[in-house]
Chains A and B, each alone.
Chain A
């Protein structure tokens, strides 16, 4: 089989994990306080998937990478300025909520319909990448449902590494229980890969990549159509923060002996 892949990465924005997140109930259901005000970043799980996709495309000439994002257009615009400097991709946007308080099925439906609409996408070469869960709601269900809706039955979750063989076969390393890895081999595309962290560091900002990306991607952002998420019958009842509050203390340059002693004391309780 050929090794030029059509890689579709599903990913959107989440509030910057450094921010103070205050979930609360509202008449429309659970919300994050001031969510539209908080700085946003690309979902870190999706980020790993994107960097792996870019690396795979670089190593397999003729491949293409699309980033499919369901998120509020104005916020996506800002985040894409930073993400565009990381890796080359083509952006496809559905304008809608990226909140964790969204029905996974409706999200998957919007994403699969958006992917169906990508001009030039060859499903026989498609590798569907995404996070194995989302930083906004870690159900891990969306990628699986998108794959099913698109008719892709080879699915892997918690992927940290894939290796493409000369015959187009793909060896997949998946996380399994107890910190072990499971190795699988599939004949080739299409397949769904829900990425964990992968093995690649975050790429440096490359202004040239950013400029090239933006010429194609900003018009795509402008033309994003509103996503219809209204079909859900799912209702989130309420949201609460855990009662336990972790007391974080930062100590620099602690000696190993001090750390060990502290861990022992903690274990003793």
Chain B
């Protein structure tokens, strides 16, 4: 983008600390930092270098149009969050509740279209006699999957609550609608960030009202922009990952918030996790909030080798499972969203500190992929950095790599986040060889504290996605696939509906309330919109690779149907108005980047717009 353009005069400002991305990690960081910036006698802990005479100036930029526009309900033990708020009263946060009941359900395939290995078919038969509504409740929840005592809440509502507390202190400024395009790099040092240009055409060339993005210089840049954030991605490209680490495993979580029908027997605080359906590789969750509201959805992982893996339709089939539908039928969709999750965990950890920067949160590899928890871990890394920064400010020391390693990194390495991440490190390796080995592997890791693991080597998504012909071999003939391709191309449609119909997935009975078309989900649930004047943030690095591509997984996997078939072939079309910024296209691509085999052909940048719902 800006690399290709002639030099433009940019506004420049200075601050002490700039933070990119507001979420649990930034929440933990800023909460800890702002509490310590003023001493008990009312004087600043340290003087601002950007504005002498003032306490250190702290700014946080959030890409979304509101800091509450998050995308997930979560269940978490919340150890770090509770440590930050010992007297936390969950009723202060809308849609939050203590965990009261936990279940793990194995769901049988009620329609006969699920692509199941033999062991699952046997399980369907053997467990069938013990099932209620085609679901078998596991008699025992292993300790590593237990969430009790814990809490369920909406990340959007947590962000709003934390954010308003932070801004009330006056010690930090949190700016929404502020996409950060890239870090300001000088060698290996980070000097601040550059905001996204405005008043540009789709391809980034200046247009009416062109306003180059401002450079915000800062002594410390805190990178908390998650797994698909532009600043974190750029640092990974420039600095590389530590040796042996990779970011090859992903999942897209697609979720919605539902007003449950009257008379539904689920109580607030109920936590359900499902395995087995709609495909063995897809996990589901459902959390019940106060007020007869539930947050529910599925995770579609990158090692689910279906090249037409649509999260939306699979989510609908999952909701229609007899056990769930019996209680969901008659409900209304209130909110909808999607998000990419970094599933490499500790093995995806980037370089955490350098001169002038530190990384926290999901993009820093804090997610625990055994326990399936990331929010509290992200918060904890934010707290650790907050404590480190306070120490450096108090001692009058610079934010150099050495100093940040001695204060932040050492805290992190000694913390429970690190210890539990080490246990979890290899827990998912088995999934790279098959779903059954994956489950056995997770069990082995969890029950032995990480001493025994199922072997397996993660493969990047672009290397493991099979062709459509290979995936459907034995189910649909080459000739018929060709016909479906031609017909879908003629109608400008993606392939997944036709292919799924063909192998026996039933038509979704749309009801206009909960089961709605994908586009209606954008309107009713995600309330998706895009601000004018920004460049397209999804682009394709090498058009020739798209020309040769016959899967176009990006179209099938797009959470907002923003990437669509180009009638002329070649590079798919992108509609910014529909994009929900989940980042799934970034890793749902079967073509490697021509310069970097670890990256795909999809370039995902910072952009404006997306979800406009804080209930999730």
A residues within 8 Å of B by Cβ? 16, 18-20, 34, 36-39, 74, 77-78, 81-82, 85, 201-202, 204-208, 210-211, 214, 218-219, 222, 248, 250, 252
Shortest B167–chain A CB gap in Å is: 5
| Segment of B79-87, B122-130, B132-140, B208-216 engaged in the interface with chain A | B208-216
Complex Cα distance, B552 from A33, in Å, reads 42
Q: Do the beta carbons of B65 and A82 come within 8 Å of each other?
A: yes
With contacts A39-B614, A74-B164 known, is A207 near B195, CB below 8 A?
Answer: yes
State A252–B65 Cα separation when bound (angstroms): 25
Binds A, one of B386-394, B436-444, B519-527: B519-527
| Minimum C-beta distance from B173 to chain A (A) | 6
Smallest CB-CB A-B distances: 7 pairs: A18-B527, A204-B198, A37-B94, A18-B612, A74-B164, A39-B614, A39-B66
Asked if residues B211 and A206 are in contact (CB atoms below 8 Å), the reply is yes
> Which residues on B sit within 8 Å (CB–CB) of A218?
167, 170, 173
Given A77-B164, A214-B173, decide whether A34 and B195 contact each other with a Cβ distance below 8 A.
no
Chain B: which residue is nearest A84 at the CB level? B175
Task: Flag whether B68 is at the interface (Cβ < 8 A).
Answer: yes
* Docked-complex contact B533 and A81, CB < 8 angstroms: no
B318 interface residue per 8 A CB criterion: no
Additional 6 contacts, C-beta under 8 A, given A16-B66, A204-B209: A18-B529, A82-B177, A206-B211, A214-B173, A222-B170, A250-B523
User: Assuming A81-B176, A85-B177, A205-B198, is B13 touching A211 (CB within 8 A)?
Assistant: yes
B209–A34 CB distance below 8 A? no
B residues apposed to A, CB below 8 Å: 11, 13, 59, 65-69, 94-95, 157, 160, 163-164, 167-168, 170, 173-178, 195, 198-199, 209, 211, 214, 216, 334, 519, 523-524, 527, 529, 532-533, 575, 612-615
Asked if B173 and A19 make an inter-chain contact with CB atoms under 8 angstroms apart, the answer reads no
Are B613 and A39 in contact (CB-based, < 8 A)? yes
Are B170 and A20 in contact, with the CB atoms below 8 A? no
CB-CB under 8 A for A210 and B198, given A18-B527, A37-B157, A37-B615: no
Contact: A208 with B175, CB < 8 Å?
no
Bound: A19/B614 CA distance, A: 9
Q: Which of A19, A34, A210, A250 is within 8 Å of B94, CB to CB?
A: A34
Verify A207–B175 contact, CB threshold 8 A: yes
**Chain B residues in 8 Å Cβ range of A20:** 334, 524
Q: Can you name 25 A-B pairs with beta carbons within 8 Å?
A: A16-B527, A16-B612, A18-B613, A19-B527, A19-B613, A34-B94, A39-B613, A39-B614, A74-B168, A77-B164, A77-B168, A78-B68, A82-B177, A85-B178, A201-B209, A204-B198, A204-B211, A204-B533, A206-B211, A207-B214, A208-B11, A210-B175, A211-B173, A222-B170, A250-B523
Kindly state the separation between the CA atoms of A198 and B527 in the bound complex, as whole angstroms: 26
Query: Chain B contacts of A211 at CB under 8 A?
Result: 13, 59, 173
Q: Which of A20, A202, A222, A250 has the most CB of B within 10 A?
A: A20
Is there an interface contact between A81 and B612, defined as CB atoms closer than 8 Å?
A: no
Interchain CB contact (< 8 A) of A82 among B66, B199, B615: B66
